[in-house]
Amino acid sequence: IRGVLCEYHEGLLRLRGRVHSYYMKQLAQTAVQDIDGVVEILNQLEVAAPPD
């Protein structure tokens, strides 16, 4: 997903960046939840309207 940065450290996967809807925020989290070694997901994605 464009605009999403993933950082991983000792089982914690952090999602940062900006997406255009709450659906995309949830989709990003769903996409990474089954990755081996991921124990916790910290979803810090911001939802912002796309630029005009």
Distance CA 24, CA 12 (A): 20
Distance CA 34, CA 31 (A): 7
Predicted pLDDT at 51: 74
What does the pLDDT average to over 38-45? 98
CB neighbourhood size of 7 (10 A): 11
Of all residues in the chain, the percent with pLDDT exceeding 90 is 87
Pair of tokens at residue 14: 């952090």
Q: pTM for this one?
A: 0.85
pLDDT-derived band at 11 (thresholds 50, 70, 90) equals very high
Domain range list for the chain? 4-47
Distance CA 18, CA 36 (A): 25
18 has a pLDDT exceeding 90? yes
- Residue 20: which of 43, 39, 45 has the closest Cα? 45
Q: Which amino acid is at 35?
A: I
